[in-house]
Amino acid sequence: MTSEMRNLKVFASYRGTNYHGYQRQANAVTVQEVLEKAVSKVLNQPAGIIGCSRTDTGVHAKQFCFNVKTESSIRTVGFCRGVNGELPDDISILSCEDVPLDFHARYDCKGKEYLYRIHCSESKDPFSTDLAYHYRRKFNIEPVKKAASYLTGTHDFASFCADCSGVSTTVRTIYSLEIENNGDSVIILVKGDGFLYNMIRIIAGTLIDVSEGRINPDDMPSILDAKNRLRAGRTAVAHGLYLNRVFY
């Protein structure tokens, strides 16, 4: 049974370990491919989904939004249950709602929050393998917080972009950049209006370099001004990164 066209706004979460990122690829398994296969089966029609972001290989998402258009009359709760029944254990549908036909998960997104997890200990944590960066040194929180303070606000983040060729501007606004330390766990929480390719991983890597004394916290303004990727620090490993929340 079909009815008029609907647009479903769906929130999902996934563990990115087994996937070559979100975006569909011809020769590798991706989150988008697995989601589209499950959604198509439940809607009983080929379904192309529009995602809010393109996460890299190994990156996770606690909250990821996509929309899909369908003529199916399936109830939203039935959609969630049905798609979850088709998905592997490392991808989950969190919610589904009807939205106007012009809603677009990517273009209507007002901001994103990313989380970077670091496990600071000589010993590895078997419960955070592939879910946090294992860092074997002490994390020096105070200089890192000072460095982070320079990055909030609106800046040209070209020095924190691995490949800027596909964007019209490298200016972005970071609303907040918080560093939380609890025992062996360090979390870097970044909220902004949008992010460049590898920007969060380069910020995290640069802050790790600050912790090690390789970069002085007061060098951050000159690193920003340089607009040169070589001036910023390392790119932190992908598996510590999570798309934490998306805002509409």
| Residues labelled catalytic | 56
Instruction: Give, as one character, the DSSP assignment of residue 201.
Output: H
> Distance (Å, rounded) from C-alpha 224 to C-alpha 227?
6
Of 130, 117, 119, whose CA–CA distance to 183 is shortest?
119
What amino acid is encoded at 93 in this protein?
A: I
Cβ-count burial 118-140 (b if 16+ within 10 Å, e if not): bbbeeeeeeebeebbbbbeeebe
> Distance (Å, rounded) from C-alpha 177 to C-alpha 55?
20
**Contact indicator for 60, 15 with CB cutoff of 8 Å:** yes
Which residues lie across from 246 on neighbouring strands?
A: 112
